[in-house]
Amino acid sequence: MADLLCRKLENFIELRGADRQALLGLTKNIVRLKPGEDIIQEGDAPRCVNLVLEGWACRYKQLEDGRRQIVAFFLPGDMCDPCVFLLDEMSHSLGSLTPLTLARIPQEEIAGIIAGNTTLSKAFWLDMLVSTEVQREWTVSLGRRTADERLAHLFCEICLRLKSVGLTNGHECEMPVTQADLADALGLSAVHVNRTLQELRATGFVELKSRRLTIFDQERLRALAMFNPSYLHLQRHTGN
Amino acid sequence: MADLLCRKLENFIELRGADRQALLGLTKNIVRLKPGEDIIQEGDAPRCVNLVLEGWACRYKQLEDGRRQIVAFFLPGDMCDPCVFLLDEMSHSLGSLTPLTLARIPQEEIAGIIAGNTTLSKAFWLDMLVSTEVQREWTVSLGRRTADERLAHLFCEICLRLKSVGLTNGHECEMPVTQADLADALGLSAVHVNRTLQELRATGFVELKSRRLTIFDQERLRALAMFNPSYLHLQRHTGN
DNA sequence: CGTGGGCTTGAGCGTGGTCAAGTTGGGTGG
DNA sequence: CCACCCAACTTGACCACGCTCAAGCCCACG
């Protein structure tokens, strides 16, 4: 569990034993949250980097009138911005979607690594670049993909990200979020997510049932979503 | 013109003379492009960092069937990812929207700065973090804002970004893109952008005419867009 | 056994898309 | 200097994807 971050970064760059040790040393200050709690809120000053160990979290923004948009999912092994603490205040909130275990890494430790360890400093840059790539792909989905394509694309992305840290074989994985959460991530209404899910299931490509996702036909799911895995930059290990 | 990057970064962090000199030294290898040309294409290996000096560029992705989504606008003073070259290949393209002047900065120069200059290294991190914040806000717009709100929000954002590098007083600025470009950025059709633009004009808040944007009532435009400038993290100079 | 959150279904509607036909206007060549 | 051209913009008619509201169902949990 503690080495998920290592596994994740090793998709991008080779780590030596000392680097791995340094990363493992970050896993302390463990915090547990219930589903639906905020990790940090818009307006707060970020003081530490949050590393997800178990469960799912999200980054979200809320408009004045209550409309909510989830802009990122955090899976086990994900860091919520290696360098947030450079900013004065959060312009969005982080919240748990499931029971959550996370490590709160003091900013000094991250800053120390960035100043003193070239490999890990590069790894953090790569991690940041890839998170940004994901954010861009979400922008594409919301701007130009239809509801079924959006869902299909998200499923492809999540499954591959979980695979890159060894949490799935690529055909079946956890999807422990409500349809309302999916709706807020995909820019749809919960009702429409429900109907689209049924439609996808009817095609036989994929099924989401009691918080588990099963992919029956990855080839065709990817074709439907127009999913091109290159934006995740995982080639070092998982290939596609 | 060459000091736009300095002005931009000084919104985030204080620069000393030597830092400023180092940045000014990056402005060479000047390239000029006509509107609609690609700077670099999806699949290419990034070898340098592109710095916009004059004109507008964009980052975009194209789906297999031709649907296009612009995921970012680059204005004068903007760098297209300080650290792209860490990635193996581009998962999107960069293109010009207007006649464009840019400096192609060799990756070694950026890498040298990041390795050797703490202040500028931090400045590049901040620049990257803020670009990502912008990307998130676009995700929110596409997911949860209506057509008129999206346009209004984009206008607020662009105008403030231009103000932060001294290219507008905040009430009137260049907007040298076609309605089709706006449509591709906002996840709308060109026809609907046209109609929404007329609607906004009818309210008297704002007008877009022959590539110039005029904001008549910033207060109400921001209210309509639910625009909160804090995500741009410009407080050091421009406040709001 | 009751409760409440999440899921499902139906009906009606509206925002925004598509297609197709003009219109405008800046730029070029004769 | 004018005529022409083409890209950008504009308008209308029609349509569909996805939203809202409302009611009912399922089932995990206390």
- Residue A237: Cβ within 10 Å count: 12
- Residue B114: Cβ within 10 Å count: 21
Instruction: Please tell me the distance from the alpha carbon of residue A83 to that of residue A88, in angstroms, as a whole number.
Output: 11
Give residue B193's pLDDT. 98
Substitution target in B83, B86, B88, B90 with the highest count of A β-carbons within 10 Å is: B86
3-state secondary structure of A23: helix
- Angle between helical axes of A147-164 and A218-225 (0-180°, round to 10): 130
Taking the CA of residue A192 and the C1' sugar atom of nucleotide D17, their distance in angstroms comes to 10
| B63 contact residues in A (CB cutoff 8 A) | 140, 144-145, 226
Give residue B202's pLDDT. 95
Share of chain A above pLDDT 90, in %: 91
φ, ψ (nearest 5 deg) of residue A143: -80, -35
- Residue A110: Cβ within 10 Å count: 22
User: What length is written for chain A?
Assistant: 240
Give residue B82's pLDDT. 87
CA distance A71 to chain B (A): 6
The answer to whether residue A225 scores a pLDDT higher than 80 is: yes
| B126 contact residues in A (CB cutoff 8 A) | 86-87
The answer to whether residue B238 scores a pLDDT higher than 70 is: no
- CB nearest B143 (choices: A69, A84, A135): A69
Instruction: Provide mean pLDDT across the span B198-217.
Output: 94
- CB nearest A86 (choices: B115, B122, B135): B122
| Per-residue pLDDT tens digits for A71-105 | 999 999 999 988 888 999 999 999 999 999 999 99
Give residue A81's pLDDT. 87
The 3-state DSSP composition of chain A as helix, strand, coil percent (nearest 5) reads 45, 20, 35
CA distance A222 to chain B (A): 12
Alpha helices in A33-81 (DSSP H): none
| B230 contact residues in A (CB cutoff 8 A) | 89, 91
Per DSSP, the residues of A221-234 read HHHHHT--GGGG--
| B224 contact residues in A (CB cutoff 8 A) | none
Do residues A149 and A225 lie in contact, with contact meaning Cβ atoms separated by under 8 Å? yes
User: What length is written for chain B?
Assistant: 240
CB proximity A188–strand D (7 Å threshold): yes
Which of B33-42, B153-162, B228-237 has the least mean pLDDT?
B228-237
Query: Strand C: which nucleotides have any atom within 7 A of a protein Cβ?
Result: 5-11, 15-20, 26
The CA–CA distances, whole Å, from A16 to A96, A127, B75, B161, B164 equal 32, 17, 40, 42, 42
3-state secondary structure of B153: helix
Average pLDDT, chain B: 94
- Angle between helical axes of A118-144 and B118-144 (0-180°, round to 10): 20
| Per-residue pLDDT tens digits for B88-121 | 999 999 999 999 999 999 999 999 999 888 999 9
CA distance B144 to chain A (A): 6
Instruction: Provide mean pLDDT across the span B10-21.
Output: 93
CB proximity B117–strand D (7 Å threshold): no
The answer to whether residue A16 scores a pLDDT higher than 90 is: yes
CB proximity A84–strand D (7 Å threshold): no
The answer to whether residue B77 scores a pLDDT higher than 70 is: yes
| Per-residue pLDDT tens digits for B48-74 | 999 999 999 999 999 999 999 999 999
CB proximity B191–strand D (7 Å threshold): yes
The answer to whether residue A2 scores a pLDDT higher than 80 is: no
φ, ψ (nearest 5 deg) of residue A12: -105, -30
Mention every residue, 6+ apart, whose C-beta is less than 8 A from residue A46. Answer: A40, A81, A84, A85, A87, A89, A90, A107
| Per-residue pLDDT tens digits for A99-151 | 999 999 999 999 999 988 999 999 999 999 999 999 999 999 999 999 999 99
| Per-residue pLDDT tens digits for B180-189 | 999 999 999 9
Mention every residue, 6+ apart, whose C-beta is less than 8 A from residue A60. Answer: A68, A69, A70, A71, A92, A93, A94, A95, A184
Greater confidence, A235 or A204?
A204
Give residue A82's pLDDT. 87
Taking the CA of residue B6 and the C1' sugar atom of nucleotide D30, their distance in angstroms comes to 62
| Per-residue pLDDT tens digits for A28-79 | 899 999 999 999 999 999 999 999 999 999 999 999 999 999 999 999 999 9
The answer to whether residue A200 scores a pLDDT higher than 50 is: yes
